[in-house]
Chain A
């Protein structure tokens, strides 16, 4: 009864947030170059991407009008890629963002993160960082396609965790290889003074769409939810499942709040070619405009209909789903241009175990 009530109010909360659509996160896909060859890459990044990095000035000019409508420090610019550290002007970009009042952080694989770049990014006012670490050495290097990637990421972790300035977390893409080491890896992260750990499964998009080895079985998905749920009870580390899917009976047991895909509601992105979208891994069919011929602020205020009204997602396996009113069609990145069925549903898979 209490759960139904809290779900009821959360659904009203979500509808209200859509009306407010206050921009809180702005991703900047600053490069498509990458120094790793991750098996699960959602954006198919490559080392020698022919697409040139976006000039920072183009990004800046697109977002400056936001200051007319928002306090800039209420917006966190998340610099992503590709691998953002391949850009040598990152500290300079950060300085200018802070001069204009924006907060900023980066999502990195940690391969190039050393004490020098750590010092320069901190000095330039970086406030948040997310580091990918996908298990112990063998598992991590396998997924990342590089034999040095674990050691480099570990060096990055030591630097990041030593800073009392940074808000940071470690993210792990759970797959069939690292699944059995999650418990010992959790203890390892705790020993490394990591305070926050986010777990993802691997969505069947980008390179991962053609690699079944990366997917967990339905039973493993349930075990993963049990692992997170149990690990949250002893509070040694702030472990949570990502907001990639509604998870039915595990809602609020595996994260702090109910599932709510905020793509296009509180989250926008400016992609490498100037496209305006929500999270960078969303199918490019849902692009809402382009900074080179649209005003970003105008697009944010007046478009994004397909993300702010998700009634169209009531199709395919969602059509008769009893949880639709709570889930609202799941995460946007799991829909493609056909818009006929969500690509995967963890809730559905877990329910099949129970049935």
Chain B
């Protein structure tokens, strides 16, 4: 990282000059034709969905988040990943929506309590 003495001095000067010019947005600015900065208020959930009967991964399971629009489908190795808004907890729902294509499974859900950076879920679905 940029951290030599000269850089540190300049960053101190940045704080001094910025404060003395009474500009609230000097440190967090927006590019002229760009978006706002992303301050990263989200949370990463990943995991794997398997059959409770065979313990084999299940592809094509829809993984959605309680009251948010995000969703993902498990891939061929049963894995999913999803970013969600940062909240104290999330209800994650697992649904077999491709009828009998990859077997028939009952829906399941779980509550994820948000910790530091991410959560890994091991989910088992029962046969219908």
Contacts and interface: CB of A to CB of B under 8 A. Distances in A.
B24 interface: yes
Contact of B68 (A104, A122, A263): A122
B36 A13 contact: no
Main secondary structure of the interface of B (DSSP, over half): loop
A122 B34 contact: no
A130 B34 contact: yes
Interface stretch (A3-11, A45-53, A56-64, A144-152): A3-11
B25 interface: yes
Contact of A168 (B26, B31, B36): B36
Contact of B17 (A9, A76, A267): A9
A40 interface: no
Interface string B91-128: 00000000000000000000000000000000000000
Main secondary structure of the interface of A (DSSP, over half): mixed
Interface residues of B, number: 41
Contact of B35 (A20, A70, A168, A279): A168
Given A69-B2, A80-B33, A281-B33, A124 B83 contact: yes
B36 A169 contact: yes
B33 A280 contact: yes
A38 interface: no
B38 A16 contact: no
Contacts of B40: 73, 103, 127
Sorted from nearest, which 6 A-B pairs have the closest CB atoms? A127-B38, A257-B23, A256-B25, A13-B17, A128-B35, A105-B35
29 contacts: A6-B23, A10-B23, A10-B26, A12-B17, A13-B14, A13-B18, A13-B26, A16-B13, A20-B7, A22-B2, A24-B29, A27-B31, A76-B38, A98-B83, A105-B34, A122-B83, A127-B38, A128-B37, A165-B68, A167-B35, A167-B38, A167-B39, A168-B35, A243-B29, A256-B23, A257-B23, A267-B31, A267-B32, A279-B32
